[in-house]
Amino acid sequence: MLKEFRFPDVGEGITEGEIVRWLIKEGDEVKEDQTLAEIETDKAVVEMPSPYKGTVLKVHVKEKDIVKVGQVLVTIGEKGESVAEGAAEAAKAEEKPAPATGPSVVGIVPESREEIQEVLATPKVRKLAMELGVDLKRIRGTGPQGRITEGDVRAAKVAAAIPKEEKKPAFKIKEKFDFYGELERIPLRGVRRATAKRMHESVSTAAHVTHFDEADVTELVKIREGLKAQAEEKGVKLTFLPFIIKALLAAIKAHPLLNATLNDQDEEIIVKKYYNFGIAVDVPDGLIVPVVKAVDQKSIFELAGEIQTLADSAKKRTLDLADLKGGTFSITNVGGIGGEAATPIINYPEVAILATLKIKDRVRVKNGQATAIKTLPLCLSFDHRVIDGAEAARFMNDLVAKLEDADFLRRAAHSLPESIVL
């Protein structure tokens, strides 16, 4: 008996993925739970196990293709079975009228039963749209915040029954040259495609404002230098980031709105009472933000080791989905590259992100004298719907104070997490 394996809903709002690599081909015998393909989502590269055993009769999509949740990936059956015969039988079954559940209307049925893309609609409304053959992406919702209602779906079904003039297929030409010279076309795929979508969602939703400041980290540089040998004995590379996390944690505890999300639907601010910090990792085709969980329960060396492990896994694309979930605040560190200032985009639905730039000697006036000190530029982007500018400024004042407090930094370096006096 023919069985269609469709791209399953793996959760976390994932609606599509890209076929990275097929591990089987047509004609292969597969076992239940055998990995069929590696599929890249906007979260990670995941392995797709087969829910059936049998012969791979047809592979429906190619490598590098984008597939939607619910789209058929492969057809599996008994050796000698024909996919065409199975399709004919399915077509006959579809010709039988379905039991009526209400007034009969004629509409346009989608070419495939793909999962609806990211739209504001409840599972009940999505199910109704699927049953009526209505494409939610073509509906403008009349509910709160543009949410699509059952009435919108039914109205779209009626509108779809009105005959429309048939359009002739248009051929799309992609030029290799424009007026000025040669062009190269790079497909928007994988991490870059996911990054583009998330950045657009963030700037289209949150009210971005960026606050700039800097900290005198002369003492921090000395303290970190004195601990490098001890860190190497523990097998970790000690960067400045674990110290920044400890200072950031102290500032966030004093300003909890920075550790929150905004629920637009219920019009409420949800303050998180746990501290999971996302660390942006630069990979060849975009950004991946793995999450360091429970930063308040880890020592400086534990944080350094976990950051190193997550960054390595991100670059190798071996992160688990769990490594990308649960973040409450994000940090993007471009200090190894350079720069004086930046306006980072919030990792929505979080409400703030901190960018740290290059530590270097800069001339500043101290005690009436111009002197070179080591400074760290800090750039905080925040959602002005949740956080006021004054609150952001007070938060940055506290963060700078902790980064300049040598006693605090030493306690953070030498004490167990629960004994650090913030």
Query: Tokens 């980064």 map to which residue?
Result: 403
Dist. CA 103–CA 138, nearest whole Å: 23
Q: Is 384 an active-site residue?
A: yes
Q: Which of 228, 254, 249, 251 is nearest to 240 (CA)?
A: 228
Task: Using CA atoms of 338, 339, 343, 348 in order, give the dihedral in degrees to the nearest 10.
Answer: 0
Angle of helix 218-233 relative to helix 300-316, nearest 10 degrees, comes to: 80
Dist. CA 169–CA 171, nearest whole Å: 7
> What does the block give as tokens for 362?
């800069």
Catalytic pick among 208, 211, 255, 384: 384
Q: Which of 274, 257, 276, 266 is nearest to 385 (CA)?
A: 257
Residues noted as catalytic: 384
